[in-house]
Amino acid sequence: MISVFIFLAVDFFNQINMLYGTITEFCTEETCPVMSAGPKYEYHWADGQTVKKPIKCSAPKYIDYLMSWVQDQLDEESLFPSKIGVPFPKNFLAIAKTILKRLFRVYAHIYHQHFKEVVQLSEEAHLNTSFKHFIFFVQEFNLIEKRELAPLQELIDKLTSKDR
Ligand SMILES: *[C@@H]1O[C@H](CO)[C@@H](O)[C@H](O)[C@H]1NC(C)=O
């Protein structure tokens, strides 16, 4: 289970990096001065370690902090040991959940603020497939709290009702 988790987390991280990469020119300090997912949800960056007091910043800055933070976690040998036989830390699941919770926000931002551009770039099917896999995985193992998923709840209901 843990090695599957790591494989998937790295895969989702790469997919989100790529999807967000295609729309970075549309996600700027001017277009997205705050990190949001629709009018009701705004995110302020804090990682709980080096940044304890949440910073209100633009979406590109927030996503840059977020992706760098995830990358650092995935590269952290003590959290994600690459050698066989090295035990996983006790807080592994908690960190894994935080990684997924934060990655979800990038999907939420893209769907709410940049779906038009995603459609223009013909990346729509790609985005949907990626998010669908993400959400199936998260729901299967109950990895993100329901209130965190609220910004995309409608979409999640749509995606999970059709094929189940
Ligand atoms: C992607 O998802 C959106 C939101 O549910 C939907 O409107 C659109 O038709 C989907 N597109 C494809 C190609 O699956």
Instruction: Output the pLDDT for position 56.
Output: 95
Q: Which CATH class is domain 2-160?
A: mainly alpha
Pocket perturbation via mutation, ligand 1, pick of 114, 115, 128, 155 by most ligand atoms within 8 A of CB: 128
Please write the tens of the pLDDT for every residue from 143-156: 999 999 999 999 99
Residue 79 pLDDT grade (very low, low, confident, very high; cuts 50, 70, 90):
confident
Look at residue 3 in the predicted model and tell me its pLDDT. Answer: 73
d(CA 128, CA 138) in angstroms, rounded, equals: 15
Amino acid at 95: I
Residue 13 C-alpha to ligand 1 middle, in angstroms? 21
124 in ligand 1 pocket by Cβ < 6 Å?
Answer: yes
Atom 13 of ligand 1, residue of closest alpha carbon? 125
Alpha helices by DSSP H, listed for 29-91, are: 59-75
Ligand 1 atom nearest to CA at 155: 5
pLDDT (tens digit per residue) in 9-67: 899 999 999 999 999 999 999 999 999 999 999 999 999 888 999 999 999 999 999 99
Return the residue whose CA atom lies nearest to atom 12 of ligand 1.
125
Handedness of CA 21, 29, 68, 45 (dihedral sign): negative
Considering only residues 67 and 86, tell me which one the structure prediction assigns the higher pLDDT: 67
Ligand 1 centroid to 102 CA: how many Å? 23
Ligand 1 mean position to 32 CA, how many Å? Answer: 23
**In whole angstroms, what is the distance from residue 85 CA to residue 163 CA?**
39
Percentage above 70 pLDDT, the chain: 98
Query: What is the structure's pLDDT at 29?
Result: 98
Q: Known binder of ligand: residue 109?
A: yes
Distance CA 157, CA 153 (A): 6
Q: Does the beta carbon of 158 sit less than 6 angstroms from any atom of ligand 1? A: yes
